[in-house]
Amino acid sequence: MELIRVQFKVNGEQVDLSVKPYETLLETLRNRLELTGTKEGCGLGSCGACTVLLDGIPVRSCLLLTAEVNGREVTTIEGLKQGDKLHPLQEAFINHGAVQCGFCTPGMILTAKALLDRNPKPTRSEIIRAISSNICRCTGYKKIIEAIESVVQKGER
């Protein structure tokens, strides 16, 4: 099988890889780049656990071929912290108890980040609409919504 050369940025760092044409971005992130913060849930695009940002837009990395991201910029949950300091959304999720098992958390935070980047002052219904893309099966959405709202109120992001 012929390999495809792809060059793209992950969390600000340039990577240059030869990948199989049928390799998903999720597989590349987890298995080659050891960025295991991105989770595989359903593998079919329904649950949102594998959400990463592609040029700032949330995407299901399980539905994306790595070959498709050539020349693009990918952000995973590992790319949010600045130095030793967590991203305000990460801090807020901890402070509001918005993390229980944690499996949906990376996707949930990245979906929220994309929302705040395009709309810094979302209403509660806009927050709900955005995170409806991600399934949480244990924390419950209330604390997640409160965590995001606290970041909106403080004007951090």
Binding residues for another protein, rule: CB under 8 A, are: 1-2, 4, 20-24, 40, 43-46, 48, 51, 57-60, 62-65, 67-68, 111, 129-130, 132-134
Q: How far is the CB of 10 from another protein (least distance, A)?
A: 19
Residue 66 tokens read as: 């790595």
CA-CA distance, 47 to 107, in Å (whole number)? 9
- For another protein, the closer CB: 37 or 41: 41
Residue 140 tokens read as: 């419950």
Residue 52 tokens read as: 């990463």
Helix (H) or strand (E) segment spanning residue 142? helix 141-154
CA-CA distance, 32 to 115, in Å (whole number)? 29
Q: How far is the CB of 123 from another protein (least distance, A)?
A: 14
- For another protein, the closer CB: 45 or 97: 45
Q: How far is the CB of 88 from another protein (least distance, A)?
A: 21
**Cβ atoms of 93 and 147 closer than 8 Å:** yes
| Structure letter (DSSP) for residue 18 | E
- For another protein, the closer CB: 59 or 98: 59
- For another protein, the closer CB: 69 or 151: 69
Q: How far is the CB of 32 from another protein (least distance, A)?
A: 15
